[in-house]
Every structure is written in C-alpha cells, then in structure tokens.
Structure 1
Amino acid sequence: MAEFLTIGEPLVVLASQDKDMSLDEASHFEKFLAGAEMNVAVGISRLEHEATYLSKVGADPFGDFIIEAAGKVGIDVSHLKKDSKYLTGFYLKELVGSGDPAVAYFRKNSAAANFEVAELEDVDLTGVKLAHLSGIFPTLSGKTLETFKLFNARLNEAKILTVFDPNLRPVLWKSREKMIAVTNELARGSQIILPGINEGEILMGSREPEKIADFYLNQSDLTHTVVVKLGADGAFVKVKNAKSFIVPAFKVKEVVDTVGAGDGFAVGLESALLEEWPLEDAVNRACAVGALAVQSQGDSDGYPTKEKLIEFFNSDERFGHCY
C-alpha cells in the first residue's frame, strides 16, 4: 500500500466555460476529475508521494474517465473498483468573475454511496503513514457512514496518522442539527483537524480561531493538533498543551476559482508531514498550495509539482529558498 491513503467519492465536474452565466444558460463545459478526497490524492501524487484511493465508480464513461485520469497522475487505483449496478456521480460548476461559483450535484445513490464495509476486507494498511479523511464520504449514505467509522477505527488501531477535514456539504445532510452532531463525532477519531473558520462557526458556534481549536482539542484525547483555515488571512494553529501561532497567507494576483482551495491546503500540509517537516513549515506549504489552487480553473488543476512549488516559494521574499 502507498504511504498516503484516502477514501471518498470520486466525481466528474463539468465546468462551465461561459463566464458569469448561470448553469441553465451556459452551453460550453469542460470535463475535469473532481471530488474532495480525489483532489487531495491528485495533489499528493503531484508532489511525488505514493497515494492510494479507495472507492468505486459506475461501469460507465464517467467511471472510465475517473480511473484513467487518476492513474495518469500516478494515483494507485487498484482499490478503485467498478460497480455496474450504480452510476458515477458528477456535478456542474459555474465560471464566475468573483466569489464562489454555483454548483449542481448529480450524485444521489452513486456507486461510491454504495461502498460497503465488506469492500474493505482486502485493504492492507501495511506501509501507510498518513490517511486523509473527509466529512463528505460518510454523508453519502448509511453504508458509507458505517464504512467510514470502521475504516477510521482500523487506521487508529494501526497507529496511522489521521487528518480530518470537515468539508461541510449541507445539501447532503437531512438536517443542520444532524450535520453538526455527526461531523463533530467523526472528528473525535482523528489526530489532526482542519476546520475552516466558517465551518467552525457552524459546528461549534464561534468564529474565534482559538475557541474553535480548543473545542476540538478538548473533545477528544486522540486529537492533538487543530489548524483553522482563515482564507485570505492564512491559518491559525494550535497544538495541545503548546502555544498557538498564525501562519500568514500568500498574496494572489487573481482568484480564478475557489473550489479546491481547501483541499489544496490539505495537500500542502499532509505532503510536508509525510516529509517530516516541522509543523509551522508544513502549514506554510499548505497556504502556498491553497494560493496556487485558486489561480486555476478545475478543482485540482492548480496543484503544483514539486518544481513549481519551489519556484513559487523562491518568488516570495518572505521565504526565499524555503520550499
């Protein structure tokens, strides 16, 4: 098994090429590989780390595209299976001049939503150093929630570093109350938590980064680090029984597409942790990949290779040679 592992719902995104036109008006779309956990796997692979992705797709053209595209960027797709009983999920995304684009999902009862516990039986965790977990996969169905919990427990038993990104998708939940309760419950199972400041306000009622961090540090003996994503203001970091600190964001010339920025942040952090970087440097890399992500269309198209990341750091006077 690769050193990095994630489980999720792979998607195809049909991204509008008609700027500032609603999805019903737009007529030109481009196809991209998507899905939050897949975005992270793509970014990890681009930074020269082995990544395995667990899930399944439909036996349809979108499923074929996902497997082929993921394999082309170096992701281990041996555990990305086809299921002829269900279809592959996809979504449409606006192209906007500013702000967050509107999206329309077509993913109900997808192949990934029918991923079951029994399909984990042949997964060998030997060699895995870090697992990326997202709050999206367990929302898809009762099956995926059960699978997520068992998978998380197996990771903890194997003493593998677990990173949890809440990645709230209210449209996938039956109620706001259930979303909050289940997401916070799932967060207890990971060592590092990556809430955005807006997610923190929803999940525990405050926009104060330190209060958000303290909430997750105090609710679980397992959680030792919380990194609160502050968008254009960078990130707030707190380690249990240690002093907190802020890592500033990078200036961006033009924001093209904000979708995938949070996943890019996870890519930067987790790739650096795999390389055993100090935490503050790892969060610097997280901010850098997030900044690069918003400057490209496509959920993961802006994620850099190691050479591009070095070039980006070298162009910033704060960091010089640091990458």
Structure 2
Amino acid sequence: MTRPDVVGVGEAMVLLQPAEGENLATAERMDVHVGGAELNVCAAVARLGGSAWFASRVGADPFGERVKAAARSLGVGTTLVGRDDTRPTGVFFKDVLPDGARRVHYYRAGSAAAGMDEGDAAAILDAKPRAIVVSGITIALGEGPERLVRALAEGARSAGAQLVVDPNLRPALGRQDRVLATVLDLLPRTDLLVLGQDEAGPLFGVTEPADVFSAAGSGRSDGIEVVLKAGADGVFFHGEDDEPRHLPSAARAVRDPVGAGDALLGGYLAARLAGATRERAARVGSALAGRIVEVHGDVEGLPSAAEAAALLAG
C-alpha cells in the first residue's frame, strides 16, 4: 500500500443550502454539497499533486455514500473512511443573510463521525502518512474523537508522521474548554500549528504574531512551525530566521470566506512536503485561500491541476 503524504482526520457532512438570494425558511429547493474542514485540507493537498487520504466514519446511508463519492471526486482517498451501521452521517444547513453573513445550523449530534475513538488510530498510524492533520472540530465532537486525536498525537512520531494541528475553534459546537485544553496538551508533539489570529487570544492570551509564535513554542527546545492566519490582513509565518514574516491577502474580492483557512493550510502543507521554503509555502497557501474566497463553496475555487503545478513550482 502506497504511503500517503497527508491524512486528514475529522468529519465531513452533507450541506444543504438555498440558492443565492433565497433562505432556509422559504426556499422550495436547495443545493446539495459536501463539507468538512479536514476534507477541504486534503482536497487542497491533492490538487497540488500530493497524496491525501481522509479518515472518518459515515453512516450506512445515502449521505455517507455521497461523502465518499465527493472525496474521491476531489482526488482524496477513502480507505480510512469507516461505516457505522448504527449512527447517521451528519448534515448541516447554511443560510446566506442579506448582509452577506452566514448562519449555519448543524445536525451532527450522535453522528457516525462522533463515534470515532482511539481504536481508530491504529489504521491511520499503520498507513504511515508523512503528516496527520487534526483539528479542534474533531475534538469538539465528543470524548471518543478527543481520545482519537490524543492517540494520534502520541503515535505520530513513531509512525514517521508530522503532527499538524488547526485549533479551528467553533463555539457553536460546544466543548470549547476541552478543545482549548487538548490543543494546548498537543503542542509539545506538534510540528506545524496553523491558527487564526482570533484563536490565539483564547489559546495563549496574546494576538501579536511575535507573541503568538513565542507562546506556541514555549518550553520546547526543538521549536514549532507556526502559521498565523489574519483574515483580510493576510498571513504571518516563521521566516527562515524564525522571525515573523507577513504576506498580504491574495484575494481580489470576497464572496464566501468559508474554506479559506483550510485551503491555506492544505496549500502550505503540500508545499512544505514538496520541499518548499516557508515563504514559498505561505505564498502557495495564501494564493489558494485567495481563490477560495472569490467564489461560493469550500473547494470550488481551487486551481486546476495545471495551475496548481505552476503555482507550486513558483
């Protein structure tokens, strides 16, 4: 079995959304998509030519088949997507309000992915990926997924994998105290931390890039690679001299910001695994994020394979 470059661990759900200009209360028809932060990361890695697998569980239902089909259509492997015969695949609904704001309604409690546990770690580690991506969203799903994330963190290095952590704080999902505590516990084993500037405050009590980088690596002699997403202000990354460097946003217009952070992480990680410098990786990630926000949908703005290859080559 070929060793994947990246395994993203989390939940992907079916998304139902009214057409532009309509709302959930009155719409007679809805568009159907598949969404999930870790799947989005894998999609970006795959588009840049890397081998990416998604690790999750889905229900024994049509929505579960739809999730797997969507992953495969994005070039993402589904070998590690298990089926739970007793739990459903999660779904969520999204409204786009007149002012452009998004309102999301989740129906994921008791989902198949929420049933993941530390027993799922063995297959992921046995695949010996070069990097394992986990996020706070998975931790928020419940005690079992939290145990899985901790088990992966403990076993990643022995499996030859980098541990990549995205806090992805989502207060609406609950368990944020456990998410914060777990992410902080993971830091001694984390190789790459990618977080939003708005998440740095709850995690570290600071938001200035130099302070965030220092706090993330506190107590470590081997350092930690940090990427700090600043939204419209672009991204901060560790320069080769370990000092914070800044890139402005690559977005020319913003229609839908959902998925931009996932694309940035996927682009950065794929570039680093391909041997790019931190600056080149940050430029690749920023370029992907800029494309994502210009269109509706989590992955619809990803470049073509040819464009991605040119972007990666600089």
Decide: shared fold, TM above 0.5: yes
**CA positional deviation for 1:280:** 0.5
Q: Is the 8 A contact 2:209 2:244 kept in 1?
A: no
Aligned residue number for residue 245 of structure 2: 245
Q: Please report how far the alpha carbon of residue 109 of structure 1 lies from its aligned counterpart in structure 2 after TM superposition.
A: 1.0
Q: 1:30 to 1:73 in 2, by over 3 A?
A: same
CA–CA separation in structure 1 for the residues paired with 2:125 and 2:220: 27
Mapped pair 1:34 → 2:35: yes
Q: Distance in 2 between matches of 1:51 and 1:90?
A: 23
Specify the SS of the correspondent of 2:102. coil
**In structure 2, what is the Cα distance between the partners aligned to 1:199 and 1:99?**
22
Contact 2:58 2:84 in 1 (8 A): yes
User: 1:85 and 1:322 mapped to 2: Cα distance?
Assistant: 46
Deviates more, 1:254-263 or 1:125-134: 125-134
Q: CA deviation at 1:15?
A: 2.4
Alpha-carbon offset, residue 98 of structure 1: 5.4
Q: Is the 8 A contact 2:125 2:159 kept in 1?
A: no
Q: Per-residue CA shift, 1:104-154, capped at 9, x if unaligned?
A: 101001000101222333345455212222111122111111111111211
Is 1:107 matched with 2:108? yes
Aligned to 2:75: 74
In the TM superposition, 1:170-209 aligns within 5 A as 170-174=171-175, 176-209=176-209
- Which deviates the most, 281-290 or 232-241? 232-241
Distance 1:274 1:305, change over 3 A: farther
User: What is the TM-score with the length of structure 2 in the denominator?
Assistant: 0.91
Q: Deviations for 1:78-105, whole angstroms, at most 9, x for unmatched residues?
A: 1111111000011111235655411110
1:59–1:84 contact (8 Å) kept in structure 2: yes
| CA distance in structure 1 between the aligned counterparts of 2:125 and 2:228, rounded to whole angstroms | 32
Offset at residue 242 of structure 1 (A): 2.5
Residue identity matched to 1:274:
L
1:285 deviation in Å? 0.6
**SS at structure 1 position matched to 2:276:** coil
In structure 2, distance between residues paired with 1:9 and 1:283? 26
Aligned residue identity for 1:145: E
Aligned to 1:2: 4
The answer for the alignment partner of 2:16 in structure 1 is 14
Task: Give the corresponding residue for 2:267.
Answer: 268
Range moving further from structure 2, 277-286 or 154-163: 154-163
Considering only aligned residues, what root-mean-square deviation do their CA atoms show, in Å?
Answer: 2.3
2 CA distance for matches of 1:110 and 1:290? 29
C-alpha distance after superposition, 1:153-207 (max 9, x if no partner): 1112223222211111112224x54443333223443111111111112222233
Tell me the secondary structure at the aligned position of residue 218 of structure 1. coil
Change beyond 3 A, Cα 1:163–1:120: closer
The answer to whether the Cα contact below 8 Å between 1:225 and 1:240 also exists between their aligned partners in 2 is: no
Paired with 2:284 and 2:236, the residues of 1 have a C-alpha distance of: 14
Per the TM alignment, residue 44 of structure 1 is displaced from its structure 2 partner at its CA by 1.3
Give me the whole-angstrom Cα distance separating, in 1, the residues matched to 2:149 and 2:222: 17
Supply the AA of the counterpart residue of 2:281. A
Instruction: Give the match for residue 291 of structure 1.
Output: 290
Q: 1:123 to 1:307 in 2, by over 3 A?
A: same
For structure 2, the 5+ residue unaligned runs are none
* Cα separation, partners in 2 of 1:121 and 1:128, compared to 1, 3 Å: closer
In structure 2, the residue matched to 1:163 is: 164
CA–CA separation in structure 1 for the residues paired with 2:135 and 2:239 = 21
SS in 2 for 1:157: coil
Alpha-carbon deviation of 1:241? 7.0
Q: What is the aligned partner in structure 2 of residue 316 from structure 1?
A: none
Q: Note the alpha carbon deviations across 1:215-252, whole angstroms, 9 max, x for none.
A: 11115456521111111221112369722211222141
Name 1:317's counterpart in structure 2: none
1:292 is matched by which residue type in structure 2?
A: R
Q: Once the 2 structures are TM-superposed, how far is the Cα of residue 3 of structure 1 from its aligned partner?
A: 1.6
The letter of the residue matching 1:243 is E
1:85 paired with 2:86, answer yes
Q: Which runs of 5+ in 1 are unaligned?
A: 314-320
Q: Which amino acid aligns with 1:46?
A: R
Q: Structure 1 residues 282 and 141, CA, compared in 2 at 3 Å: closer, same or farther? A: same
Equivalence for 1:118: 119
One-letter code of the match for 2:118?
A: V
Q: Percent identity?
A: 27
Residues 100 and 258 of structure 1 are in contact (CA less than 8 Å); yes or no, is this contact kept in structure 2? no
Structure-1 separation of matches of 2:98 and 2:220? 41
Hey, what's the Cα distance between the residues in 1 that align with 2:309 and 2:204? 37
